[in-house]
Amino acid sequence: MRWIWPLALAFAGSSPLAYAEQPADGVAWLNKIVAATQRLNYSGTFTYSSGNQMETSRITHVVDASGERERLEVLDGSPREVIRVNSEVKCYLPEERTVIIDQSVHRRTFPARLSDSLSSVADYYRVRLGEMSRVAGRDSRMLSLEPKDGLRYGLQLWADAASGLLLRTRLVSERGETIEQFVFTDVSIGFPVDKEKLKPRFLNKSADWRIVNARATDSPSHEGDWVFRAQLPGYQQGTWMRRKLQADRPEAFHVVFSDGLAAISVFIEPIRPNHPERVGVFSSGPFNVYKRIHGDFVLTLLGEVPATAVKLLGDGIEQRRK
């Protein structure tokens, strides 16, 4: 379900020297990180690790007068390529001869791991500035975000000292264990990028491929059909959407709750006859998942958050009586 996971204008080729001023506190550094992700050209190779899984990807990101363009290619295992033009995302899966088209409303791909909405982050995390270190050969500032409750994980960030671009992230459990980690092994920041690096490898081969439209559509009229009786401190409810999860399944209602760093996705879909559902709390990689049956619907909640958070939110969901 990774492909389910959501425009800033700036000048191409911005120099890192323009971002050399060092913020005075942790929250200011977070804002600098968000701005760098949206405004800078960059390209590089990074690794992702979670448990026994490890993956290497190459990313190229360009910002110019037309907006943002990005190409991400997974270098290990089955070939995958993700092309983003502003908010539209196309995921090419050559082994399946499939192109998945989605919107990047809740995009959290590395290094764009932070939301624009960070105004209340200090209310729910202790934000501490750490020591200077080096990542991918660049001087970096380390930040530690420690949760003030058991409803979110800790996060450690290493940002390029000059530009603010994230170079490494580490998600930390309640026991201090690494849940997942992203880290650049090499990166170029703030210089003109060869536009050829943005071209899809599989574009000319995909004319006869299956196209899956996974775009969500706003569905605010259905918001009143469901009640969330458990309000998690700091988690703000997003827009209700309708989304097709798989071709052979009916549309699901989808809404995201986020505190700007952590996020929980809620999917509500009709029960499918003769398709028994796995219910309860379980893990899927770095995600905790909670499923329960409510009347004629299956409720699925998932997020890179403690199991307590998905279960508490899920147990409070009720269908409003008409």
To the nearest whole percent, how much of the chain has pLDDT over 70? 88
How is residue 94 annotated by DSSP?
Answer: G
pLDDT at residue number 281: 97
Q: What is the domain partition of the chain in residue ranges?
A: 2-205, 216-319
39-95, pLDDT tens digit by residue? 999 999 999 999 999 999 999 999 988 999 999 999 999 999 999 999 899 999 999
pLDDT at residue number 17: 36
Residue 10's pLDDT band (cuts 50, 70, 90): very low
Count the Cβ atoms, other than its own, within 10 Å of residue 207: 6
Q: Which tokens sit at 257?
A: 């709750």
Whether residue 117 contacts residue 141, with contact meaning beta carbons closer than 8 Å, is answered with no
Quick check: 2 pLDDT over 70? no
Quick check: 161 pLDDT over 90? yes
For 147-178, b/e burial (b = at least 16 CB within 10 A) is: beeebbbbbbbbbbbbbbbbbbbbbbeeeeee
Domain 216-319 has CATH 3.30.200.100: yes
Whether residue 140 contacts residue 111, with contact meaning beta carbons closer than 8 Å, is answered with no
By three-state DSSP, how is residue 36 classified? Answer: helix
Nearest to 261 by CA among 181, 153, 160: 153
> Across residues 93-115, what is the average pLDDT?
84
Q: Give the separation between CA 204 and CA 66, rounded to whole angstroms.
A: 23
Looking at the domain 2-205, which fold is it?
Answer: outer membrane lipoprotein receptor (LolB), chain A (2.50.20)
118-158, pLDDT tens digit by residue? 888 999 999 999 999 999 999 999 999 999 999 999 999 99
Q: Is the pTM of this model over 0.75?
A: yes
Q: Bridge partners of 169? A: 157, 182
| Three-point CA angle 253, 255, 260, nearest 5° | 165
